[in-house]
Structure 1
Amino acid sequence: MFLAISKRALLAGSMMLLANLFFSGAALAEQKETLGNWDVHYIAFNSTFITPEIAKHYSIIRSKYNGVINISVLDKADQTAQSAVLTGTARNLLGVSKKLTFKEVSEGEAIYYLAVLPFSDQETFRISVEINDGLEQQVLNFQHKFYVE
């Protein structure tokens, strides 16, 4: 039951972000790190959680073996969206590394970054993302386990 509730919360959270809405403090799926002058919000989820229309719009291939990493970089002081260059890698527990290619998406005042990550069932990744706006450089590190839906 808890797993089903978590999946619904994750789906709702990812759809809100893709629809240019930011997570509220009550969203269970939200993860945030304060890095330097930024609040960095991030989430990883299965690409099957998004609709075919949204996937097509963002050039994401929906597959039970594709994950999506979504990152927003906000100014810590006023919470405005920040433009930056994101580069990253995802390393599984066997040490196999995959390069993450982030695409910047701007919708109104919102800016977020999307990367697709192929995975195997129950594969855990240690994800490292370098965020650089030309003035400041920070590294976001987190871990996520993907499940085939």
Structure 2
Amino acid sequence: MTLLKHIVFILILFSFNSNAEQKLTKGNWDIHYIAFPSSFIQPEIAKQYQLQRSKYLSIINISVLDNSNDDKAQNVYVSGKAETLLGQSSELDFVKVTEGEATYYLAQLNYHDREVYKFTIDIQQGERTETINFTQMFYVD
């Protein structure tokens, strides 16, 4: 199973647990985001994409689609940070993953049980920069 299929499954799983769609629209960009435990990914998928699996490690997934051009995946630069409620900050190191016409930007983050992180993600393409913010609580499974 491809990473795309795993992520779609995870998005469906989370959509049953949340009323809010994890998407923001900024101009002609639809920015999809999700953060989930890396243990949700099958071992062979983790190996293929060089992701570590752990009950204390998350995956942050960002994708940017052009909503004025048939939802075409955008080639962007993604950077960001995650900050705990106590103010401890971690820089996120995003890696670009392309599968066919789909493009994802993935980063990993260590966490503790019931830890809340505030994410600030910057998305840049040429002179254009958009910033999204979201909060996520992580649980150890």
Report if the CA contact (8 A) 1:125-1:143 is conserved: yes
**Alignment of structure 1 residues 1-149 onto 2, 5 Å:** 18-19=3-4, 23=8, 27=12, 28=15, 30-78=21-69, 79-149=71-141
Please give the alpha-carbon distance, in whole angstroms, between the structure 2 residues aligned to 1:84 and 1:61: 24
Equivalences, count: 133
Show structure 1 runs of 5+ residues with no match: 1-14
Report if the CA contact (8 A) 1:40-1:73 is conserved: yes
Q: TM-score of the superposition, structure 2-length normalised?
A: 0.87
Q: TM-score of the superposition, structure 1-length normalised?
A: 0.82
Runs of 4+ in 1 over 2 A off after TM superposition: 18-24
More strand by share: 2
Q: Using the TM superposition, give the Cα deviation of residue 58 of structure 1 relative to its aligned residue in structure 2, in angstroms.
A: 1.1
Q: 1:20 to 1:132 in 2, by over 3 A?
A: farther
AA aligned to 1:136 is R
SS of the counterpart of 1:141?
A: strand
Q: 1:105 to 1:75 in 2, by over 3 A?
A: same
AA aligned to 2:124 is N
Q: CA RMSD in A?
A: 2.1
Report if the CA contact (8 A) 1:20-1:110 is conserved: no
